[in-house]
Structure 1
Amino acid sequence: MKKISFETFKRPNGHDEFLEWLETLPKKDSAKLLRTIEETEKNGMLVAQRLKWVKKLDTNLYELRSKVGSNIQRAIYFHVVNGRYVITHGFTKKTEKTPISELKHAKELREEWFTNDD
């Protein structure tokens, strides 16, 4: 099994949208999402896909999925190289499909990351 790791994207302006959003969530919700990230790192992408912890949204754009009661949390991420993944941001899902605005924002952040990566 290939070792994978997630990191968050700290933008050039100093903001880490995922961590800032995570702090606003109820404790149970943030704990469940962090646990999903840890379990995905520990068990690998194949297990995570089989257990529906992750889902492909678009070309090199995926979501980590977690749910506590009726609260549905999503963290969007992309693949960099080997087992390295970057989480762009998160949101609370309120509709059946991932909102276009969230996909657009994730694509902008991904582009920003690749433009500014040293």
Structure 2
Amino acid sequence: MNKITFESYKRKNGHDEFIEWIQKLPKKDSAKLLRIIKETEVNGMLVAQRLKWVKKIDTNLYELRSKVGSNIQRAIYFHVVNGRYVITHGFTKKTAKTPLHEIEHAKEIRKEWYNHEN
């Protein structure tokens, strides 16, 4: 089993949207999402899928999921190679389905990442 690692992406404009977003969350919300990321790294994707911490939302786009009270937080990420995953950004979910503009935004960041890495 490959060791899983999550990293966030610092964009060309200097912004790391995930880090900037998570720093603005209430402490309990950010702590729970960061714990889910760490637990996924430790226990693997199969456990994370079984516990519904992660969900596929599009081709090579997934979301990390956490909920504290009525606050629902999501972090979108993509798979690079082996156990390497890149988190594009996060958002507070207010609707039943993941908003299309959040998926499109993640695709834009993923494309930028691939263009920057190659």
Whether these two folds match at TM > 0.5 is yes
Residue 27, structure 1, aligned to residue 38, structure 2: no
Question: 5+ unaligned residues in a row in structure 1: which ranges?
Answer: none
- Letter paired with 2:17: E
Question: 5+ unaligned residues in a row in structure 2: which ranges?
Answer: none
How much has 1:28 moved relative to structure 2? 0.2
1:62-88 alpha-carbon deviations (Å, 9 max, x no partner):
000000000000000000000000000
5 Å-filtered alignment, 1:21-100, equals 21-100=21-100
1:20-74 alpha-carbon deviations (Å, 9 max, x no partner):
0001100000000000000000000000000000000000000000000000000
List 4+ stretches of structure 1 deviating above 2 A: none
How much has 1:2 moved relative to structure 2? 2.4
What's the TM-score once normalised by structure 1's chain length? 0.98
Q: What root-mean-square deviation, in Å, do the aligned CA atoms of Structure 1 and Structure 2 show?
A: 0.7
Q: Which residue of 2 aligns with 1:11?
A: 11
What's the TM-score once normalised by structure 2's chain length? 0.98
Aligned length: 118
How much has 1:117 moved relative to structure 2? 1.0
Identity %: 79
